[in-house]
Amino acid sequence: MTITELGTMGGLFAILTLIHFFVDWGLQTHSEAMIKHNHPWVRARHCAIYTASFLPLLLWCRMTWLPLLISANILFWSHFAQDTYVSIYYWMLYIRRPPCMTEPTRTERGTFVPADPKAGFLQFIDTTLGKILMIVIDQVIHLLFLLPVAYMLLKH
C-alpha cells in the first residue's frame, strides 16, 4: 500500500466514521438504546438501519456486488454482536479488572464472598468512569470494523 492509498483510505475511514456516529447515535431512540442489548429484534432493526445508512456511499463509490455484500455483512453482524456489550464485559473483566468485578468482598462476620463479575459489571458501569470507559471501548471496537470496509472501498 502506498502512502497515497493510505491517505485515501484514511479519508474514506473518516467519512465512514461520520456516518457511524450520526447513525449509531443520531438515528436511535433512547428506548432502543436502553433495551437493544437484551432484545435481538430491536438490535436487528437498529443494525439494519445502521447498515442501510452506509449503502449510498458504498454505491456512490461504485463498489461491486461482492465487496458490497461483504461490507454489508461486516457492518450488520459486527454491530449486532458489539451491541450486546459482551465484549465490553470481557474487556472489563480481564483487562480493566475493576475491584467490584474481580476481588472478593468481606462480610460483616469477616468472611470473604467471591466476586460476582456480573453484579460488579453493573455496579462499575453505573459510575462515571465506568460509563465513559464502556462508551469509549464500545466505539473503538465499532470503528475497528470500519477499517476493512474502508479498505474494500479503496481496492474494489
pLDDT in tens, 39-96: 999 999 999 999 999 999 999 999 999 999 999 999 999 999 999 999 999 999 999 9
Rg (CA), the chain: 19
Confidence of residue 115 (pLDDT cuts 50, 70, 90): confident
Residue type, 59: L
Cα 102 to Cα 1, 47, 106, 108, 138, distances in angstroms: 43, 32, 13, 19, 21
pTM of the full predicted structure?
0.90
Query: Where would I find the beta strands (DSSP E) of 4-147?
Result: 105-106, 112-113
Instruction: Give the mean pLDDT of 3-24.
Output: 96
Q: What gap in Å lies between CA 49 and CA 52, rounded to an integer?
A: 5
- Residue 1: predicted pLDDT: 83
Higher pLDDT, 70 or 108: 70
